[in-house]
Amino acid sequence: MKFDFFTKGNMTSKDKRTFNLLLIVFLVGLLLLILSKSFIGPPNTPKVEPIIAPNTYKNSNPQSYEEKLEKRFEREFAKIEGVGEVEVIIMLKTSGEIVINKDIPISQSQTDEVDSAGGTRQSVESDSNEATVLISNADGSTKPIIVKEMEPEISGVVIIAEGGDDIVVKQNLMKAAKVLLDVDAHRIEVMKMVENKGE
């Protein structure tokens, strides 16, 4: 199909019909494109949870972990004979850490070159590209695959109990804390609870 009217400046009736037909097809296509974007809306982009370090991210709220442990052990330690009312204070050394799965494909290429003097030269190029492996949920969001979850490390425990002055109660509390929390004995302190006289 030749459009001589662009170069000559005059249009025949056949050229006008062809031009009008092309213009209408173009405008209808443009209109459909605009309408489809406005009715369909933005594409569903999956939400990815933020990741702090390349291979790990920290537990979101170490304080709640600390508080949950304290409440749990207060209930359990109160069941030990002679303990009475008890308060537990746990200090964390580190927050928890979650190790996520990474996909690290490595590509390598090797080139051997011979120069004009007869010598050979070898060049090796390697390229790696790290990406987090994600899993899709039923709601369409994605999250990283967790390889390992490490609990926060406990630096010390203080147990304040009504029976904290009794040697047997003190030993029982220290043994229980050592076993349950995996803390060395020198990081556990058991003390006698005193009554607040001002209340």
25, part of any domain: yes
Give the number of other Cβ atoms within 10 Å of residue 142's Cβ: 14
177, part of any domain: yes
Task: List the Cα angle 121/123/129 in 5-degree steps.
Answer: 180
Which H or E run contains 150? strand 146-150
Cα–Cα distance measured from residue 110 to residue 196, given in angstroms and rounded to the nearest whole number: 78
- 175: nearest Cα among 163, 188, 166: 188
Supply the DSSP symbol for 179.
H
82 plus 154 within the same structural domain: yes
Cα–Cα distance measured from residue 166 to residue 84, given in angstroms and rounded to the nearest whole number: 11
Cα–Cα distance measured from residue 87 to residue 158, given in angstroms and rounded to the nearest whole number: 8
3 state DSSP class of 159:
strand
Q: How many domains does the chain have?
A: 2
Q: Which residues contact 19 (CB under 8 A, 6 or more apart)?
A: 3, 5, 11
Domain containing 181 equals 56-99+150-192
- Residue 133 structure tokens: 């492996």
Question: pLDDT at position 55, please?
Answer: 44
Q: Which residue has the higher pLDDT, 44 or 37?
A: 37
DSSP β-bridge partners for residue 192: 161
Give the whole-number percent of the chain exceeding pLDDT 70.
79
Mean pLDDT for the stretch of residues 180-189: 91
158, part of any domain: yes
Cα–Cα distance measured from residue 107 to residue 178, given in angstroms and rounded to the nearest whole number: 49
Which H or E run contains 127? strand 120-128
Question: pLDDT at position 99, please?
Answer: 82
165 phi and psi, to 5 degrees? -90, -15
113, part of any domain: no
The number of C-alpha atoms within 13 Å of 11 and in the hemisphere containing its C-beta is 10
pLDDT tens sequence across 116-155: 887 888 888 887 777 777 788 888 888 888 888 888 888 9
Question: pLDDT at position 56, please?
Answer: 44
Which of the four pLDDT bands, split at 50, 70 and 90, describes residue 8?
Answer: low
The number of C-alpha atoms within 13 Å of 199 and in the hemisphere containing its C-beta is 3
138, part of any domain: no
Which of the four pLDDT bands, split at 50, 70 and 90, describes residue 6?
Answer: low
| 60 pLDDT more than 60 | no
184, part of any domain: yes
| 160 pLDDT more than 90 | yes
